[in-house]
Amino acid sequence: MRPIDKINQRKNLYLIIVAIGFAVFIGLIFIEKQLSPFIYKTILYSGLAIFGVGNLLLYVGIRCPMCKSIIGYVIVFSAGKAEQCPRCKVDLYRSQ
Size of residue set near Zn ion by CB under 5 A: 6
Cβ proximity to Zn ion: between 3 and 47 the closer is 3
Cβ proximity to Zn ion: between 31 and 88 the closer is 88
Give the residue, chosen from 20, 67, 93, 96, that forms a contact with Zn ion under the rule CB under 5 A: 67
Length of the chain: 96
How many alpha carbons lie under 13 Å from residue 18 in its C-beta half-sphere? 12
Cβ proximity to Zn ion: between 2 and 87 the closer is 87
Q: Count Cβ atoms below 10 Å from residue 53 Cβ, excluding itself.
A: 15
Q: Which of 21, 42, 22 is nearest to 32 (CA)?
A: 42
Residue ranges in 23-42 that form contacts with Zn ion under rule CB under 5 A: none
The runs of H, that is alpha helices, within 32-67 are: 37-60
Instruction: Report the alpha-carbon distance of residue 14 to residue 60 in Å, rounded.
Output: 11
88 scored as a contact of Zn ion (CB under 5 A): yes
Cβ proximity to Zn ion: between 41 and 89 the closer is 89
Q: Which residues make up the interface to Zn ion (CB under 5 A)?
A: 64, 66-67, 85, 87-88
